[in-house]
Amino acid sequence: MKILVLTGAGISAESGIPTFRDKDGLWEGYPLEEVATPEAFHRNPERVHAFYNQRRRALLSPEIKPNAAHEALARFESTHDDDFLLVTQNIDDLHQRAGSKNVLAMHGELLKARCMLTDELFDWRDDLSPHTPHPDGSDLIGKLRPHVVWFGEMPIGLNTIERAAAQADLFIAIGTSALVYPAAGIVQWTQPSCRKVEINLGATPASDAFDQSIRGAASTEVPRFLQ
Ligand code: BV8
């Protein structure tokens, strides 16, 4: 059986990482267009770096850990790895820390920086700024950006995701508000014969596209569904 899983901020909420659009969400303090677009970065790199530096530091604080939902997905992958693809919209590394091996981070990764000249990726746990020197010792300065997909930018791995959706016998969407495309459209890329399950605290605009909606917290419902 081929399985495709899509996760959103809701799977990391119980690990202490704020979601985007729930109460006290991440976007509340920052209008999207001011911190998550290439134009915002070009206009005010310090402000955009500050937004991601704050989230990177928070992610690296000791109390932030994967929860039972991340762990259940990692266990499930280990017994189904050939027919299992985990796609996440999240830029945290909680799936990887839980032991998931094959994670497609379609909106990028907060703990990676990318050179804007060469597209080279670097593991990155410190703050970034327009004065950050290039790690390769060259005299390049300020050429690094967060390796994160902003609005208006092409998500990562769309061909792989599209192929996996077309072949999936089971598609599970966990903790996503289904408001951001193309991620929210993945459910439409599955075959009519594919079993579609949505695990979320509440309904989303995509709920009608699913055969089953499991209403509850990811840390409870995901281990229960996958057991
Ligand atoms: C692109 C990275 C084109 C940065 C993010 C008009 C209509 C439709 C689409 C568009 C439009 N205008 C523009 C667009 C396209 C745009 C888009 O969709 N905009 C939306 C806002 C309307 N999309 C893009 O720009 C994408 N790129 O289209 O490119 C293109 C084509 C070809 C060539 C070049 C370009 C890029 C989108 C990626 C943007 N980057 N993030 C960062 O993280 O800072 S998006 C951001 O929102 C997050 O990454 C996240 O992935 C995404 C979705 O949020 P969710 O993960 O769903 O989180 P949210 O808070 O919304 O919801 C939480 C859910 O969890 C809720 O449902 C809640 O009930 C639930 N929950 C909470 N707690 C729990 C829980 N569930 C279970 N258990 C719990 N405990």
pLDDT of res. 27: 63
User: Do the domains at 2-17+66-107+154-226 and 19-63+117-148 have one common CATH topology?
Assistant: no
Q: Which residues are catalytic?
A: 107
The reply to whether ligand 1 has any atom less than 6 angstroms from the CB of 24 is no
How high is the mean pLDDT of the chain? 94
Measured from the Cα of 22, ligand 1's closest atom is 60
* Residue 224 identity: R
For the chain, count helices (H), then strands (E).
9, 9
User: Ligand 1, residues 15, 21, 147, 151: which to mutate, most atoms within 8 A of Cβ?
Assistant: 151
For the chain, the domains span 2-17+66-107+154-226, 19-63+117-148
Q: Separation of 181 CA from ligand 1 center, angstroms?
A: 6
Confidence of residue 171 (pLDDT cuts 50, 70, 90): very high
Residue whose Cα lies nearest atom 10 of ligand 1: it is 181
The reply to whether ligand 1 has any atom less than 6 angstroms from the CB of 21 is yes
- What ipTM was estimated for this complex? 0.95
For the domain spanning 2-17+66-107+154-226, the CATH number is 3.40.50.1220
What is the rounded distance in angstroms from the CA atom of residue 6 to the CA atom of residue 141? 36
Position 161 pLDDT exceeds 70: yes
- C-alpha triplet 59, 61, 63: angle, nearest 5°: 105
The reply to whether ligand 1 has any atom less than 6 angstroms from the CB of 34 is no
Residue whose Cα lies nearest atom 37 of ligand 1: it is 151
Q: Separation of 136 CA from ligand 1 center, angstroms?
A: 33
CATH class of 19-63+117-148: alpha beta
The reply to whether ligand 1 has any atom less than 6 angstroms from the CB of 194 is no
Measured from the Cα of 108, ligand 1's closest atom is 2
What is the rounded distance in angstroms from the CA atom of residue 77 to the CA atom of residue 226? 10
Position 159 pLDDT exceeds 80: yes
Integer distance in angstroms from the first to the last C-alpha of the chain?
Answer: 15
Nearest alpha-carbon partner for 91 in 60, 67, 127: 60
Confidence of residue 7 (pLDDT cuts 50, 70, 90): very high
Three-state DSSP class for residue 156: coil
Confidence of residue 144 (pLDDT cuts 50, 70, 90): very high
Report whether 197 contacts 170 (CB < 8 A). yes
Residue whose entry in the numeric block shows the structure tokens 């901020």:
9
Model confidence pLDDT, tens digit, residues 15-67: 999 887 777 666 667 777 778 999 999 999 999 999 999 999 999 999 999 99
Report whether 203 contacts 10 (CB < 8 A). no
Q: Separation of 20 CA from ligand 1 center, angstroms?
A: 8
Measured in residues, the chain has a length of 227
H helical segments located in 24-150 = 26-29, 32-35, 38-43, 45-59, 68-80, 94-98
- Rg of the Cα trace of the chain? 18
Distant-in-sequence, close-in-space partners of 95: CB < 8 Å, separation ≥ 6: 7, 66, 70, 73, 74, 86, 88, 103
Q: Separation of 157 CA from ligand 1 center, angstroms?
A: 16
Question: 51-57 — which CB contacts under 8 Å span 24+ positions?
Answer: 52/110, 52/128, 52/146, 52/148, 53/127, 53/128, 53/129, 55/26, 55/91, 55/110, 56/110, 56/111, 56/124, 56/125, 56/127, 57/127
